[in-house]
A and B are shown apart, each in its own frame.
Chain A
Amino acid sequence: TQLLEQSPQFLSIQEGENLTVYCNSSSVFSSLQWYRQEPGEGPVLLVTVVTGGEVKKLKRLTFQFGDARKDSSLHITAAQPGDTGLYLCAGGGGSQGNLIFGKGTKLSVKP
Chain B
Amino acid sequence: DVKVTQSSRYLVKRTGEKVFLECVQDMDHENMFWYRQDPGLGLRLIYFSYDVKMKEKGDIPEGYSVSREKKERFSLILESASTNQTSMYLCASSLYRDGSTDTQYFGPGTRLTVL
- A binding-site residues for B, Cβ under 8 Å: 30-31, 33, 40-45, 48, 50, 88, 90, 92-94, 96-99, 101-104
Whole-angstrom distance from the CB of B45 to the nearest CB of chain A?
A: 6
Cα A103 to Cα B98 with chains together (Å):
23
* Residue from the list A41, A48, A98 in contact with B33, Cβ < 8 A: A98
CB-based contact A103/B58 at 8 Å: no
A-B contact pairs, 27 of them (CB 8 A): A30-B101, A31-B100, A31-B101, A33-B103, A40-B108, A41-B108, A42-B106, A43-B104, A43-B106, A44-B106, A45-B104, A45-B105, A92-B100, A92-B102, A94-B99, A96-B48, A97-B98, A97-B100, A98-B33, A98-B48, A98-B99, A99-B99, A99-B104, A101-B35, A101-B42, A101-B43, A103-B40
* Residue from the list B40, B100, B109 in contact with A93, Cβ < 8 A: B100
- B binding-site residues for A, Cβ under 8 Å: 4, 33, 35, 40-43, 45, 48, 56, 58, 90, 92, 97-109
Cα A92 to Cα B94 with chains together (Å):
13
Task: Given contact pairs A31-B101, A99-B99, A101-B42, enumerate 13 new A-B contacts (beta carbons under 8 Å).
Answer: A40-B109, A42-B106, A42-B107, A43-B90, A43-B104, A45-B105, A50-B101, A92-B100, A92-B101, A92-B102, A98-B58, A102-B42, A103-B40
